[in-house]
Amino acid sequence: MAWFLGLGITGVVLLALSLVFDGLLEGVFDGVLDGVLDGWLSLPVVAGFVAMTGFGGAIALGAGWTGPAGAAGAGAVAGVGAGWLTYRFGRALMRDQTAVTPRTDDLLGTSGKVVTAIPADGYGEVLLRLAGQPLKCAARSTVPLARGAEVWVEAVPTGTSVVVRPVDR
């Protein structure tokens, strides 16, 4: 029983270490098994297998269902199941993608308001909305614009500045 519990505890320790060293085992076989065992040799999968093999064997042995050899077999079956579930959950989490990150080019054509007056051919500030979030940018205009004027973005020369023109209504 002590061997099975030791194996289970070792698996739990490996699982805790996988938070720090994830990806360690994938690099061990560097290129030898390209694509064959992708994800199956990840530290969380190996740790799940080892932990469940130990604890499953301890449960089978402690319940009196079988002897040590049968407990090892039952633990291995439970370990394979835990490893498979860990692999599937890991793949599902890795495929979970967020929406596309907004880029500064997405500002082109948006409207906003002047928050710091813009002198002719000088800089002021405008408040724009990018992906629903307010964004304050330095702004240039060929004509002077007063605070509160509605503007339209014509160009985005840098990530923090825009060229605007007044909105005519």
pLDDT at residue 31 in the model: 59
The b-or-e profile of 37-62 (16+ CB within 10 A means b, else e) is eeebbbbbbbbbbbbbbbbbbbbbbe
Residues 17-70 pLDDT 10s: 777 776 565 566 565 655 555 666 777 888 888 899 999 889 998 888 888 899
Residue 93 has pLDDT above 90, yes or no: no
Q: Which of 112, 109, 114, 108 is nearest to 143 (CA)?
A: 114
DSSP state letters, the chain: -HHHHHHHHHHHHHHHHHHHHTTTGGGTTTTTTTTTSTTTTSHHHHHHHHHHHHHHHHHHHHTTSS-HHHHHHHHHHHHHHHHHHHHHHHHHHHH--PPPPP-GGGGTT-EEEEEE-B-TTSEEEEEEEETTEEEEEEEE-SS-B-TT-EEEEEEEEETTEEEEEEPP-
pLDDT at residue 126 in the model: 96
pLDDT at residue 34 in the model: 57
pTM of this prediction?
0.50
Rounded to an integer, what distance in angstroms lies between the CA atom of residue 83 and that of residue 105? 44
Q: Kindly indicate the confidence band of residue 159, based on its pLDDT and cuts at 50, 70 and 90.
A: confident
pLDDT at residue 139 in the model: 95
Residue scoring higher pLDDT (59 or 95): 59
Count of beta carbons in the 10 Å neighbourhood of residue 23: 9
Rounded to an integer, what distance in angstroms lies between the CA atom of residue 164 and that of residue 24? 51
Residues 102-153 pLDDT 10s: 777 888 989 999 999 999 888 999 999 888 889 999 999 999 999 999 999 9
pLDDT at residue 117 in the model: 95
